[in-house]
Structure 1
């Protein structure tokens, strides 16, 4: 049958201290390295804990290297002293057990008692460290909660801003369309007015041409009146000749002939004055008609009017396009800024998630510190000669620490620490909000 595994109680009392000191040094070094790795994200505690645990390891090494160090523990020496330190049989009385414990306590060196006292002094450190970690967790949770509340408020403001931007965009587009309609209506009214003016100018030119034609007809009338005046003068001259030929009997005809001659002279003068005035008016009308009926000038004016109307249409179109372009540009920039704000909000949400991950990792670190405290308490009990309630198993401590990993990053750091390759990613234990 295979031999039973050796226990610490099977070792003689003088050599038991050597074995426990060796376990203390190894456990302290392992705990320091593990804690340094666990606190990879929380550097503020790693240095302090490394110093304390290194001190524990150094104390154990100093105890192992003292001048009066005993020979290394072997299986043979254990067999030789089995009768001294073997566990008491079940029927051993309580008084005998107390006497044996007192004897073993007297056999322990002073260094063992000093190491146990030193480990006992670490209790306040672990209590303070645990409270500090709890305080960090509480502060992180409070800060994350405040940031989350602020971000929710910001998200509500962002939603209201988006709604307001949509309404503003609709109003700006409506204003641009209304402005375009007003400009087009103005251009249409001006175009109609200019068209009416052209038609009125043509009608006025035609009317002026008709007046000129009538004045030319008056010129023909004055010519006829001049002919009547000339005939009247000839009649007066013939009457005067006949009155002279009749002698005293033609005196009355001579008076009539003289009156006819005076009438013909007055008519000729009046007709001459009328001709001068008609000629002056005719010249004025001809000048106006000539100026109004100039085809080249009329075409040029019409062309300028058409260009002006086209310019007005172009101005209306460009103004509308500029207004619409400005509205689109401003709204695009505002939407871009709004989108950037949304991305920033999402980024901050991610940071909050990261803070929550850190909080859970800190909680895992606190649990590891408590487990390490329990292990060192067992070592202290062993140095005091009291059997620990749980076996002194540092590997179990490391496995318990690994069981509390909450992210793949911790597993990869574990693999780097032991020089192994990281395993496949497991399901996340992180609680996200």
Structure 2
């Protein structure tokens, strides 16, 4: 069906050929689309989503032929791996100015809003002289917004993790600066609140674990440095976790704080032996984290009481995700992911080829980003590979799932930010509409 265009792609006319395939797909009867999907998997070049499809898909107008595309480039840095002008001629949309954008080699964390309009990046610090910052790209206008993550360079650091609220209206950054946590309103980049020595309501610095600036990273009494953040499924609460500071081996305990997302009011705080992430369920009533010995501990947020403990047996367990109904927790570690269902006996285990970097819950169960020997793979709860790429230095990959796990955003050594569509061969679901 697409042999002629495949030959064109092999002769160096990749984007012209793919444009022909996408336009043919739009006119095919539904009974012929299956054959096209099967052939597109072996396409010899890139399979980007055309801008006209992208506009349909983002506004919720999903079409069956959209599944022929497997990605869209969200941003190209100074040195793309192909002719950027040729790509934009096919791709369309407002291009973001690379001169205004960040150095992708300095990116520490990435997030994308549920409707794929906003892309957020945090950057490492510039040596010992300046903190890293936050960059936000409005992909409708191609405009970059930049914000600082510190208060007068009192503590040099950067944003360790970044997350959008499930409706895209808020953006949270967990940092290792003197402003330990910041939350912005996305559409106008107004900072709603921040946590630090003078940035929050009087008396809450202790709740955030701020005890002044230590002279030594080995000081067990130094302030909490948060490495993970995320929202409850309803977007009402936000959690920040200092997971025992993996960069500082002498640290034995981590601080976990839960706050009201739009005000910063602290509703839960504890210091515990911890490693990896802390996550909230959909309602924000339960919080789960991984203890230093690998045990999954579940708290009632309102009372602060431990309500359940689960031994996973997973080596290197650090990643967590709660199911939307709150009845299960996915845990990712070395060589496997486990699904814990309280009251259902032994956990379900899915073998993976590598280490689970992150795990998220989709409409049909958990999905895990797995880092292996020169490859990165997304595996679902049935053990199927939904996406895989060979990467020379996989541990340097910066990646994040969209909130509903239908998209994986990656930054590697190609100087591109790419959204990969995790269709599993099915028509893509309609995106969530974010609030402005």
Give the structure-1-normalised TM-score.
Answer: 0.18
The structure with higher relative contact order (CA 8 Å, sep 6+) is 1
Determine which structure has the larger strand proportion and give its number: 2
Determine which structure has the larger helix proportion and give its number: 1
Larger Rg: 1
